[in-house]
Structure 1
Amino acid sequence: MDTLADTLQRLREAFGSGRTRPAEFRASQLKGLSRFLKDNKQLLQEALAQDLHKPSFEAEVSELSIAQSEIDLALRSLRAWMKDQPVSRNLATQLDSAFIRKEPYGMVLVISPWNYPLNLTLVPLVGALAAGNCVVLKPSEFSRSTEKVLAEVLPRYLDQVSKLLGRICSLKHFQRLQGLLGCGRVAIGGQSDERDLYIAPTVLVDVRETEPVMQEEIFGPILPIVTVGSLEEALAFIRRREKPLALYAFSNRSQVVRQVLAQTSSGGFCGNDGFMHLTLASLPFGGVGASGMGRYHGRFSFDTFSHHRACLLRRPGLEKVYSLRYPPYSPRNLQLLLLATQDRGCCTLL
């Protein structure tokens, strides 16, 4: 069996050969990913049911359809995304060509969590493939059935430039969540079964800010409730902590939702819902600060996995014009140079 080092070396060589860069190759990978979803829909639904007891309706809405929509958008938009992006020029560069070129990073690693094991694996994978990268996937070790399908079935649909790594079997996550049930007081739920790795949806009340359940991402069916005296106190509570991946504000008063939006910062924000923003490929998904780096969904995935290379191509034969930037310096040359390099958007004719 090849070692990890051998696999990574092959991926580097594959990228270095240039085979992943053409739009045709990228599109073929995306089409293969689409076939994987369509051919194995029932298998994936069964895997999600085994891992999360997720009904087929929810699996379709929150996993399969979102991933398929991302693929369809990438296939429709791929060539437009790959085009050089012209940028504005100043007076000194009017005869030149200035643009941003989206270049693949090379070899990238996608590590996905267990709570949306298909969605949060395939959506960034779409962006990475569309951007022309070689990809190593590391599915969650806690979503065993979904990981098995990804490891055993998905490679049949993709060029083996992409690679999946095995998982680690562990009860650590279940035991961590079980430990959090000791925080505050259980108002609803609290039941658990280690054999099935099941924890009932649980609401905790009388929770203190210093307790473990309030110090880390929960990634489990546990909802701690902290009581505050006012909206201002709630906003202060949010602001003195690390910026969250997402913030959801629920209120019958629109001004309350807008106040929370205006006076906090988070990777994403949703008013009066906790999910539907994920269905929009036009909105980026990602964290800020401690909650994560990068963003994906639609074009944002492509851009996240692309290096934005700054490019300026100057015309030859104009060095005499450009020579005013060289010694001997003079006030006149300085004035001309500052005028020529000024952002044209800032210029006003009086």
Structure 2
Amino acid sequence: MKNLRKEFPILAQNTYLNTASSGLLYDSLLDFRQEHDLDFLISGSIFRDPQATFLSNVRKTIATFFKNSEGDTILTPNFSLGFNTILNGLEKSKKVLLLDEDYPSINFAVANKGFKICYAKVNATLEQNIENAIKKHKPDIFAFSLVQYINGIAIDHEFLAFLKNKYPDILIIADATQFCGTKVFNFDTSGIDIMGCSGYKWLLGGYGNGFMLFKNNILDNITPSDYKNAASNTDYDSSYTSLQARFECGHLDTFNFGSLQYSLNFLTKIGLPNIETHIHELCDYAKSELANLQLLEEDVIKRSKHSSIFNLKGDHRLFNQLQKDHIITSLRGSGIRISLHFFNTIEDLDKLFNTLHRYR
């Protein structure tokens, strides 16, 4: 992995522990983006004419990467737009289970549309809390982040499969923006009905791209009948009236979605199993050392599995000192959030620990 660090110029002068905020642009992706716009510059509409074929190839790349069918893979500029499109088509009488303090793009999006809402608490017993809430409130929909953006607590994927098997009528919708690109994942065999992701974090796709994955028949089930009736009674081209068109309305940017496709191929060449193993090693080391320093909340320490995100006990003073030492992090919640990707190293973590020992 160390040989790949030269792809990321920012790492020459900084210890970047902030992928949860923004993934990095890297040299070979920059080359692709410059070539893309140069082709557009000299060809204009001739360059744009085959965009339908190009975008179809992007869908195919995403579907292959996450083990889904191409027809049930939809392009969207970001998770939030895709998620709100889903919510706008659902009956407001539905009851939605949310996780307390989950990302506002989920919780506020549901709350401001008038759905009935119930909550499960995010702590060391997250999975049990979810099942208890389902038994008590009997929700129609469960919408959540696979990884909590503040403290990195991650829901167990085997639990989701169990949940779907036990409660098959609940529509399970997951935001995977803080997850995709960190582990090998098979959407087809998961317990998730709909999974969305923005591509600018661990997928390193840059901004303005994302996708929604649907299990077989789910897209049809969540499409309003008024839309389907109107589509069946018009002669408009299917690019305006298909089930996918409700999400992919208007022009899609080949620059942004081409960047996502390029990065998915980049990650594939590195190997998701290799990335997963490396991140796991970093996270094990980080969790052990941070726990020894008493910088992690008890709920995180108690869980046997964790994500690539940690929230350290710390204030603005410590955050500013980290910045002075060229260690890039984020202030989130009541602490300082760090996040790890394949380009990070044990040496990066040791630099962080040295600063923490000196200034905490």
TM-score (normalizing by structure 2): 0.25
TM-score (norm 1): 0.25
